[in-house]
Structure 1
Amino acid sequence: MRYLFEDYTFDTERRELHRGVHAVSVTPQVFDLLDYLIRNRERVVSKDDLIGAVWNGRIVSDAALTTRLNAARHATGDSGEAQRLLKTLPRKGFRFVGSVQETQTPAIATVATHPGEQDPERTALPGQSGVMDGEGFGAATHNGGTISDRPRSARLSIVVLPFVNLGGDPEHDSFVEGVAESLTTDLSHSRNLFVIGRNSAFKYKGKEIDVRQVGRELNVRYVLEGSVQRNGNRLRMNVQLIDAENGKHLWAERFEKPIADLFDMQDEIVSRLAYTLHVQLVIAAARRAERLAHPDAKDLNFQGVACLHKGATSEYITQARGFFERALAIDHRSFVALFGMANVDLIAGFSLLTDEPTAGLSAAETNAIKALSLAPDDAHLHLTLGGIYILTSRAVQGIAECEHALALDRNTAKAHGAIGLAKVLMGRAAETEGHVLEALRLSPRDMSANWWMHFMGAAKMHLAADAEAVRWLRRSIEIHHNFPPAHFALAAALGLLGTLDEARSAAQAGLALNPGFTICRLRAAKFSDNPTYLVGQERFCEGMRLAGVPEG
């Protein structure tokens, strides 16, 4: 459906807002807020109505709600004083008071390209802006003198097909449908994805399908299929991500849990799936981008993010930085590239890849704040800023940013892990375990799980529980070998336990990944000046010394 008011077009199917021919950038929550207000413009909408519709009933502060309302007004050229479109009625609620016309969303027009014209993969519809947003709908090229009548699919576009209830137990029908519907909703809130709505997806329920045909009919690149089966008192779910252009399976996952509260189980499965699926889609997009002769900013950002997934080494960090810098050269307002640059310096600083992590963390803070000015409601941007504060002796501010991230997206598992690290730096290592376990509960297969296990190992060392630290640190390395801090921490823990041969091997593994690392570099970083933390750091340094890590 499209809603027309003044010179604006609000398209609910494509999730786009235009003023004339120009796209207006809005965050997912602000879009949902406008959508709800416009759909319910015949009545006054209460604060509770908005929270229930936009935030699914989660606790939201008045300040957060006011911020989103102001953003909605700004996007539509309104103001808190004029209130010509979005009116606040004291002690009653809010109402969209503009004159609105409704029309059906038209089919997407195609444009033929010829030799020398713009690459069709780069052609975008108005409003499909934003560095990693679902964009790239364009025309197909000439093929034997005929022109395709179907636009090219978005780089990150997906449909979640109805899951199959293999057991046929009617008791589980609502659960099976609920997982697919909730996953569709969660994914649609991401600015990075173009997601086909539930109603369009559910027309395939119970049908024999060809995913390539589904891709053509819905104009998406990726299809997610799933099935659920009960086996005694356990429930098993299988999901597969498929490339709709060639039918190849890109990724598969299995979940198996004891049957308990189905709704709690649904929430847990959806939160795990949404994150993992998003990572897999970015990896797939990065692989496609590698084959392009003339990548644009989005392609470069995909490749930069994929490099960061490979590990915290100078090689991968340098590659990632190069991709993000090239993206910024093309689009200086690319919030994803700014976000990527912030993460590059944050990871380099934490991993002590340079002798001057403070300068890098300062640059990271500058880029994170710039990115937040472009996307103030992005949970992961607040999380990155929180991490920067945590590593620059501002742990209380860092925790506040992490909590803000969780208020924006309760499934931001990384925020719990970051708070766990903050507690170590605040001299409260005994509290770290609860935060890390919560992160692992939300996202046990998370790409950052090795970081959280490293935080747990560090906390155990600060508590002189070195044998426990070894177990956590070995798990961290098993998940991701290219993470130097875990190798050095393991070397320290083994050194303190007196297993010196293993300690030296761990130290050498760390130095192979970060040859410039020294004990002096760790001390110079000054991540915290908390006296309790500094005592623990000295134990850490002594363990590394025993393991043969260079002094300086």
Structure 2
Amino acid sequence: MSTDFAFGPFAIDLQRGALFREGRPVAISSKGFRLLEALLGSPGRVLTKDELIQAAWGDTAVEESNLSVQIAALRKQLGPTAEGGDWIITVPRVGYRFVGAATEPTQQIAETKTFAAEHRPSIAVLPFLNLSGEEEQEYLADGITEDIITALTRFRWLFVIARNSSFTYKHKSLDAKQIAQELGVEYLIEGSIRRSAQKIRISAQLIEATSAKHIWAERYDLELTEVFAIQDEIAERVAGAIEPELLKTEGAQAAARHTGNITAWDIVRRGIWHFHQVTNENHLKARELFRQAASLDPELPEGHLWLGRVSAGLVAYGWSDNRPTDLQEGMEAALKAVQLDERNPYAHYSLAIVSAYAGQFEQSISAARKAIEISPSFALGHLVLGMALLFGGRSSEAIAPLEYGVRLSSYDPQNFVWFNILALARLFSGRAEAALEAAARALQVRPNWRTSLEVLVCCYAQLGKWDEARRCARQMVGAVTQPDDVLTPLRTHNPGWAEDMASSLRRAQI
């Protein structure tokens, strides 16, 4: 079989496990990719259902309906041929046939590889090791690996190597740098599973291939009650957790580059690095970079969506000189991002966070839910949903999405905000002890942050622990202050809660 294929406006890169249309990546599932590869390898020939099931699922027993679903999705992704028909036709009671003529697109593949390398960080998930000592557990390690690959493909800014390429390294002892060079990727995820009775331990780590630096690592101990639920949970946790780590790393690399003839996306990545420093000066620098990117390439959704996010951040942290103007700029940018790419969860998150600080809570909730619908493991979608619900006075409903969001993204540099929001959701729902735990975690992430200390005062006051409340109140005197704070929408739209907080603070300061 040829290494690569082209047909119509499409090119398929078998090494990377990627499909491109006119040079741009097309989202495709790993099973859909395997089906397409099999069909392209036998153009004009009818492949039986059994042959295709073997190609996509191997020896796993599956219903024929699974094949029908995957073929239907593949047809939708490819769209019609130049003549208006389907690329894949059904042969009743037999199977399917690919009707296009496949060629070897050496130049086209080279161009698509260059596009991918220049526009998106690339990553491969290596087969997780089975440390259980039981061969029958091998399927579990493979299943978790494949689910993580699938989960990562939902992050559209990330170029993910497909399963058929990653799994060529199963049981091979090669170092990360060599594997990354062979696959042409910048990052690798390695991991292992160990099962004991009804418990399972999953370890995962993210590696920057060139330096072999470990960027992120985590271990999960879970009950093995239902295998596929475990796989889904691990995949979502890992995918959610590495996202902020990759954004920070990619942004830092872009910021360190020389300032020559750079693209709008390079400018966005530089801005992302400044954004994640979470200081007044860096937020202002990030805004200027995002404005520059949006002006340089008005059709690039990322420039607009990050402009929306930083505008909301400036307002939330009290760094805005003109709150209404900044919110208007952020709202227009976020709406533009959604218009340009309605399948981008970050665009909907941008709209959700700006709407939350503009007091438009129903719009914020709707945008957050859309982001989650597009990408179920998108931590920020769950977090902003909880924020909008809390600001809108629905504290009990806010708890679940906030808890899920911080669990998905344990290392987000702005978690001091989300833990404070979670603490208040719990506090106003009558769960003061749990609220105190979240408030304490917020202070650990960003020590001496005035809002965190204030929330701690309220939690201690609710529990009748006035000595601790007074201690936190005294710390507030030398804490980081700002003309406004992240809780302004909550106070403005929930005067009863605002008075309860103010009353606790007054009593603690006596």
Question: Equivalent residues in 2 for 1:116-515 (5 A)?
Answer: 125=111, 134-136=116-118, 156-231=121-196, 233-294=198-259, 296-311=263-278, 313-354=279-320, 356-444=322-410, 449-463=415-429, 469-481=435-447, 485-491=451-457, 493=459, 498-499=466-467, 501-508=470-477, 510=479, 512=480, 514-515=481-482
Aligned to 1:9: 10
Separation (CA, whole Å) in 2 of partners of 1:399 and 1:314: 27
CA displacement at 1:351 relative to structure 2:
2.9
Separation of aligned partners in 2, 1:35 and 1:330: 38
Deviation per CA, 1:209-244: give whole Å up to 9, x if none. 122221222222222221222345432222232232
Decide whether aligned partners of structure 1 residues 241 and 482 sit closer, same or farther in structure 2, where only a CA change above 3 A counts: farther
Q: How far 1:269 sits from its partner (Å)?
A: 0.9
The number of residue pairs the alignment matches comes to: 473
Amino acid at match of 1:167: S
- SS of match in other structure, 1:253: strand
Residues in 1 aligned to 2:68 and 2:496: alpha-carbon distance in whole angstroms? 46
- Alignment match, 1:148: none
Question: What SS does the corresponding residue of 2:189 show, helix, strand or coil?
Answer: strand
Distance verdict in 2 for CA 1:404–1:34, change over 3 Å:
farther
Q: Within 1, Cα distance between the matches of 2:100 and 2:250?
A: 38
**Runs of 5+ consecutive residues of structure 1 not aligned to the other structure:** 57-64, 90-95, 111-124, 137-153
Alignment check: 8 A CA contact 2:208 2:215 kept: yes
2:458/2:505 contact within 8 Å kept: yes
- CA, structure 1 residues 128+326, in 2 after alignment: closer, same or farther (shift >3 Å)? farther
Q: Which amino acid aligns with 1:175?
A: L
Residue-by-residue CA offset, 1:464-489 (whole Å, 9 max, x unaligned): 76665443222222234486643443
Displacement of 1:77 in angstroms is 10
Q: Secondary structure at the match of 1:101?
A: coil
Measured in 2, the distance between the counterparts of 1:233 and 1:174 equals 16
Residue of structure 1 in register with 2:100 after alignment: 100
CA shift digits 1:473-514 (9 cap, x unpaired): 22222234486643443355557765564243453465x2x4
Q: Give the Å deviation of 1:377.
A: 0.4
Question: 8 Å contact 2:198–2:223 — kept in the other structure?
Answer: yes
Is the contact made by 2:423 and 2:435 (CA closer than 8 Å) also made in structure 1?
A: yes
Distance 2:193 2:459 in 1: 43
Q: Which residue does the alignment assign to 2:84?
A: 84
Pairwise CA RMSD of aligned residues?
4.2
Contact 1:286–1:303 under 8 Å retained in 2: yes
Aligned 8 A contact 2:457 2:470 in 1: no
Conserved? CA contact 2:30–2:162, under 8 Å: no
Letter aligned with residue 360 of structure 2: R
Q: Secondary structure at the match of 2:202?
A: strand
Aligned to 1:142: none
Closer/same/farther in 2, CA of residues 218 and 421 from structure 1, 3 Å limit:
closer
Q: Deviations over 1:320-343 (max 9, x none)?
A: 223323433543333212111100
For 1:364, the aligned partner's letter is G
Instruction: Provide the C-alpha distance between the structure 2 equivalents of 1:35 and 1:227, rounded to a whole number of angstroms.
Output: 25
Matched position secondary structure for 2:207? strand
Q: Which runs of 5 or more residues in structure 2 are unaligned?
A: 48-64, 90-95
Of Structure 1 and Structure 2, the greater helix share is in 2
Contact 2:11 2:109 in 1 (8 A): no
Any idea what the Cα deviations from partners look like across 1:387-415, whole Å, max 9, x if unmatched?
33333333223222222222212222333
Amino acid of the residue matched to residue 445 of structure 2?
Answer: I
Q: In 2 relative to 1, CA 469–508 (structure 1 residues): closer, same or farther, beyond 3 Å?
A: farther
Give % identity. 23
- Give distance in 1, aligned partners of 2:33 and 2:230: 31
**Any idea what SS the aligned residue of 2:319 has?**
coil
Q: 1:237 & 1:27 partners in 2: Cα distance? A: 31
1:28–1:190 contact (8 Å) kept in structure 2: no
TM-score for both structures, normalised by structure 2:
0.78
Taking the aligned partners of 2:491 and 2:69, their CA distance within structure 1 comes to 41
For 1:180, the aligned partner's letter is T
Per the alignment, in what secondary structure is the counterpart of residue 246 of structure 1? coil
Deviation, structure 1 residue 86: 5.9
Residues 178 and 126 of structure 1: is their aligned pair in 2 closer, same or farther, counting only changes over 3 Å? Answer: closer
* TM-score with structure 1 setting the length: 0.72
> What is the distance in 1 between the residues matched to 2:328 and 2:34?
39
Match of 2:58 in 1: none
